[in-house]
Structure 1
């Protein structure tokens, strides 16, 4: 009985380490995740490693294949476009559910995250802050299933956002900042209709630009 909490803590620790590596691009799409290698690198037995992989599979970060083990999913342009179309539907809904519950302190936090983005950061830091920005706008959404879906969609497309940002450089960051500012202004004046429209356009622009760069998918970078 006393081993159960320890195993749960080990699974959470291993899952967090793998989650960070995947989201930072240190583990690439298509890469196999061997339980023995993970246990050796991160410490622990194969049991908490197996549970950690199940956690990440539920989050959309890992794909577990029967008789083959686990790997980071590798998507084609059509699959990524579908995921972005889902984001276009779900995230404005999450934002609408959230806005009525956001406090002045919440809005100030969102503004502070955007200020840090605009200070000029590398791609890795930008992706971290951009994710923080959007998740902060959904803080007031109490629909757990909706938010689980939103997070899963972000996880599934993270690598391709990184590859795209690395390819397009500072010019894309300027567009993102302008779109973030429009969204923040709508939120400050408590206008959910405008906020939803700005968010929809923000996500849709990224989707359309991604499909114009098939090299992102063919290189596996």
Structure 2
């Protein structure tokens, strides 16, 4: 018989693997998540499946509709706008707080990452390096709650960032590359204010670029709409 502890552990494992599928783009925005299929895939009962989905719902990756089912979170224009505006403020704060805590070796690695991003040949490589770069710039901040918030925002915006990265493959990405190098330069100079302003503008530019593409958003809030 399945215990509460076992169900909780299995639920976390289900959440971990589904999270990876969503972040890697294996499950698309708005795609239905069949609980029966998950139960069979993980050889589990419905209880840990529901627990795993609830974890992902709390992270903004999954939408659960009572008596209907679960879906990968849709691309929603309002939520996109709110999350990106939140990122502009929070990540500016975290970066300013991080600068004094970064070691010389961490800063050297940031420079290498900025250089590597300029050579990214596909969207997935760009996304991986870009996320590594930005989260590494925040590594010197001693604010666990803010780090948790930043990670949640990055996870919940993965589909938007993938669209942005795919668009970059068809256009010059010189502005993005230049901004990354300017951020590193401000970190080297320990210019907290400039660094904060740069990351705020960097995120804002992405927000405005994607907001100008209303075709990417799934209009209905009803997963079956």
TM-score (norm 2): 0.86
Show structure 2 runs of 5+ residues with no match: 221-225
* 1:112-149, Cα deviation, whole Å (9 max, x unpaired): 33233222231112112211111111112222222222
Asked whether the equivalents of residues 88 and 203 of structure 1 are also in contact (C-alpha less than 8 Å), the reply is: yes
Asked whether the equivalents of residues 92 and 200 of structure 1 are also in contact (C-alpha less than 8 Å), the reply is: yes
Q: CA RMSD in A?
A: 2.5
Asked whether the equivalents of residues 164 and 216 of structure 1 are also in contact (C-alpha less than 8 Å), the reply is: no
Name 2:116's counterpart in structure 1: 116
Residues 219 and 146 of structure 1: CA distance in aligned 2, closer, same or farther (over 3 Å): same
192-201 vs 35-44, greater mean Cα deviation: 35-44
1:56 aligns with 2:56: yes
Residues 210 and 159 of structure 1: CA distance in aligned 2, closer, same or farther (over 3 Å): same
60-69 vs 5-14, greater mean Cα deviation: 5-14
Name 2:211's counterpart in structure 1: 211
Question: Following TM superposition, by how much is the alpha carbon of 1:168 offset from its aligned partner in structure 2, in angstroms?
Answer: 4.1
Show structure 1 runs of 5+ residues with no match: none
d(CA) in 1 for partners of 2:76, 2:70: 19
- Secondary structure of the corresponding residue to residue 100 of structure 1: helix
1:86 aligns with 2:107: no
- Secondary structure of the corresponding residue to residue 157 of structure 2: helix
- Secondary structure of the corresponding residue to residue 26 of structure 1: coil
Residues 55 and 83 of structure 1: CA distance in aligned 2, closer, same or farther (over 3 Å): same
Q: Any runs of at least 4 consecutive aligned residues in structure 1 with deviations exceeding 4 A, and if so which?
A: 1-9
Structure 1 or 2: more helix by fraction: 1
